[in-house]
Chain A
Amino acid sequence: MTAAADPLGRRSIFARPRAETGIWSWVTTVDHKRIGIMYFLTAFTFFIVGGIEALIIRAQLARPAGPEGLIVGPDVYNQIFTMHALTMIFLALMPLGAAFFNYLLPLMIGARDVAFPRLNAFSYWVYLFGGLFLYSSVFASGMPDGGWFNYAPLSTVGADPTGTAAGSLAAAEASHAARMLFYSLGLQILGIASLASAANFIVTILNMRAPGMTLMRLPIFTWMVLITSFLLLFALPVIGVGLWQLMFDVRFGSQFFNPAAGGDPILWQHMFWLFGHPEVYILILPAFGVVSEVIPTFARKPLFGYAAMVFSGIAIGFMGWGVWAHHMFAAGLGPVANSAFALSTMFIAVPTGVKIFNWLGTLWGGHIRFTTPMLFAVGLVAMFTIGGLSGVTHSIVPHTLQQTDTYYVVAHLHYVLFGGSIFGLFAGMYYWFPKVTGRMMNDRLGKAHFWLQFVGFNLTFAPMHIVGLQGMPRRIYRYQAGMGWDFWNMVETIGSFTIALAVLIFIANLITSSRRGEVAGNDPWDARTLEWTTTSPPPVHNFDEIPDVTARDELWHRKYAGPGTEPPVRVPAGGSQDHGEDAAEHHGGPGIHMPDPSYYPALAALGMPIAAYGVMTGGAAMVALLGLGGLIILAGLFGWVLEPSAE
């Protein structure tokens, strides 16, 4: 690349990227839609990786085994279950949410892009490099093996404290320290990505709404994005501090969590769960938002109790900060704290229940069309209800002392995060696929996917309630014969492979439909929100004309006249408010300024893993890598600041 004069006479190291196709157009893109697609593809790939890890876990536990383990030994198994959780939470579910936020948010609020397009690209690249950094551990020390919760002081003592398994104490200590640093630094990098996008989405929602789109006319999905973003903004710094302390304990010999030196392992638990519980809502609220869009469309009714849905979301957002110690009931906090957190845990079920009932209210009296997205959305309502109910059983503390750290909790969390988040996100994938690609997904394959996944999911996770109460702890790489758990574990394993089959069908559907699917048109579902007013896929600038918003379900009201509860009547196409189809005549083209692509977000992001490797090494290598990484970050940020967003 050569230095090039730009039209305004400024000089820059790099010529401004101009590619509109090919790999460089993707590396340098700041278009929220392309970034959304990249988020989706990356996150879905990690979802597959996390799923393969889940299959290894289930294969390992299919039958009882001796201390050598059925398929892998405990060292590999501990890495696998740790990475399964880290992958699904940080590399699959959160970024899948981000994929939806990115693609849809500007379209839903009638904007041309997010508030900070380059920051958006930066978030993606930081996420990608953070994920690759975390997984690069497999080629170095082995992957983190302390569980996603990574409790102190196991995080400093290690799983093999005398080195009898590793062969020598030095080898065990070195590999353990490196694994913990991959955990700490990897999550810190990923946290930066989430923080940046949270700030971006908040500003976008508050500042970039189309004229007439008041907060109480926001599509409910957008509300959930807003709440999730605030949760991210406040939760990530908490875990950030904890990760920083862990890094210093492991790498530089500080003693934050070492009881022998006045530290306290319980401190880590508080920090982790003060982040960890809001994190649960970070994972579930976007899926709630998705189904709150999907169900009204296919019931052909507005969302029942919109305001109640908004405020229950906000209530969950606030109350989510007051329940963290229910993860620590067995830690010994005492009866007063346990009672307080029991009560808060019970009452957070109230706003969650309000959501369930409002979805039911939306279905009630509708004309329900059983499309694939609708099946997944209703699947969420049904499955999340089970997760919510088992959540309430966690609040009866004395009995929770039986449940905690058993497969009962594994069942609960998967009913929430798989039956909830993943079902909801699949609903969203089927629902918005036509908008993103311009083609419909195959409905028959979609339904096969749903039913197989539904059956497989329940076969896998429902029996975990039973074996958990029958005394099977979590995070064990083997169990003895004669415990009475054999039958259900085999059922669970069969179920998990059924889920894998269902996901394979989805992938096949995704690939074939994106090439040969039926052409969708602007509004294939007879939907209700603004993203369906523009073409599928939307043009780079989203809308030829920024829409004027006069109602909550803007598109619906353009299509059907008649307010309130009277049966609505279809407005003839081209009617008074229908400026979707002939908008190009009025406007578009030369008058619209879109931000230009840029190399700098990706460049700045690239510095982070390099600096992180620096922390893990020592001596000259440490100085060199930290210096190089720091310089790259600085160069990226300088280039970014000095470059106008659009020329």
Chain B
Amino acid sequence: MRGSTPAPRPGSRPRARRAARSLAGWALLAGIALLAVGCGALDERPVQSALDPAGPVARAQDQLWNIVFPIAVGVFVLVQGAIIFAMIRYRSRGDEATPPNQIEGNTRLEVLWTIIPALILAGIAVPTVRTIFVQAAAPEEALEVRVIGKQYFWEFQYEDPATGDTVHTATELHIPTGMPVLLSMESHGIGGEGAADGVIHSFWVPRLAGKQDVVPGHVRPLIIEADEPGEYHGQCAEFCGLSHANMLFTVVAHEPADFDAWLTAEAEPASAEGLEGLAAEGERAFETAGCIGCHAVRGETSEGEPREFLRIGPDLTHLMSRGTFAGGVFETTPENLAAWIADPPGVKPGAQMPDLGLDEETIDALVAYLTTLK
């Protein structure tokens, strides 16, 4: 810039020393902070990090970040560096005879710092828009899964390739690796299948894809894909009420052959034959206590006829095959199941399953029955 003041006089005036000391203090603080970062990072590994993509969708999104983040860091260093430089170089020493030159501006600079950022941004715009359209295109071949968000759990529906029937499960979304999975997502209300009084949820499994809101009255698509078998954590990302923080789920990716085996097993009805003792008692209680009014257990019959289920709560046909229940909040253990049945809203705020006021024997029987649903 033209017309700057004369070079600063060398010397160690108290003000300058103070500035230097405070700068040293800052360097020390920054060092401690960096050390803390190191320790913190070693301490624990984040399990649902968007910085750790595990499939092509999330990776393409991450690649954009990898373009923009270094640019942002560059601009950051440039601007903060200029601020710090100006603060040190142009600090007043308190003995200036005249005020500095009254520079009102510089048109060439204005044009420059308008055009250069605009060019950088235009550069970012190209891959951004390209990725938007690439990711919006429907995949040529994909497994389709219907996803229903409810206050407060996720339900997943597959088509049984053998029979064409719908296979319901909840909280664990199983997918094959190496192929895109097209999720058709809806939000349903408390009235069960198709109820329109749902709220907005957002389906998010960071290591596989960015999030997509699930809006009542609409069907929203989302494509996810995992490279490797494994478990990928996710949770609802749009505020949806009391237990928004308790609307977790896991995506379990299998090798395609394993996935087919899983789906075949999942499509099987529960084997209610041969229940004895407490479990048989529990099966009766499941009917008499009203559980079956909201929960489906495929294979359960009513006077020998196949049942129609309302499906307000999650399908429990293979409950014990799932690692967690109640929106992914509790591990599927007999103790947790017993505590849950005793007072659902008490252990998960806003849970729509009411406290049925069951006595301990009934709860034990119900748990005995539920633990047979493998």
Chain A interface (Cβ < 8 Å from any Cβ of B): 67-68, 73-75, 78, 146-147, 151, 153-154, 157-162, 164-165, 258-260, 264-266, 299-302, 304-308, 330-332, 334-335, 338-339, 342-343, 346-347, 349-350, 353-354, 356-358, 360-361, 363-370, 378, 381-382, 385-386, 389-390, 392-393, 395-406, 455, 467, 469-471, 473-480, 482-488, 491, 560, 562-570
Contact = CB atoms under 8 A, between A and B. Distances in A.
A480 B328 CA distance: 11
B210 A386 contact: no
Contact-size category for B: 35 or more
A332 B218 contact: yes
B99 A159 contact: no
A346 B353 CA distance: 46
Contact of B45 (A330, A350, A484, A570): A484
Contacts, number: 364
B209 interface: yes
A141 to B, nearest CB: 15
A49 B36 CA distance: 32
Nearest to B15: A370
Nearest to B33: A459
A459 to B, nearest CB: 8
Contacts of B211: 330, 401-402, 404-405
Interface in B22-59: 29, 36, 39-40, 43-51, 58
B251 interface: no
B43 A487 contact: yes
Interface string B203-217: 010100111110111
Interface of B: 1, 3-5, 19, 29, 36, 39-40, 43-51, 58, 60-62, 64-65, 67-69, 72, 75-76, 79-80, 82-83, 86-87, 90-93, 96, 98-106, 109-110, 113-114, 117-118, 121-122, 124-125, 127-129, 131-133, 135-136, 151, 189-190, 196-200, 202, 204, 206, 209-213, 215-218, 220, 233, 235-246, 248, 329, 344-345, 347-355
Contact of B50 (A354, A356, A470): A470
Contact of A365 (B1, B67, B83): B1
Given A74-B245, A366-B90, A565 B125 contact: no
A470 B76 contact: no
Nearest to A334: B136
Nearest to B131: A398
B199 A153 contact: yes
A301 B60 contact: no
B121 A74 contact: no
Q: Which of A78, A339, A364 has the most CB of B within 10 A?
A: A364
A476 B245 contact: yes
A354 B110 CA distance: 7
Contacts of B329: 67, 480
A406 B125 CA distance: 23
Contact of B29 (A153, A260, A455): A455
Shortest beta-carbon contacts, A-B, top 8: A401-B210, A259-B217, A484-B46, A260-B196, A476-B245, A471-B48, A159-B241, A487-B40
Contacts of B354: 162, 164
B102 A302 contact: yes
Contact of B99 (A259, A484, A560): A560
A349 B118 CA distance: 8
A165 B121 contact: no
A502 B350 CA distance: 38
A477 B243 CA distance: 9
B62 to A, nearest CB: 7
Contacts of B43: 486-487
A459 B1 CA distance: 35
A44 to B, nearest CB: 28
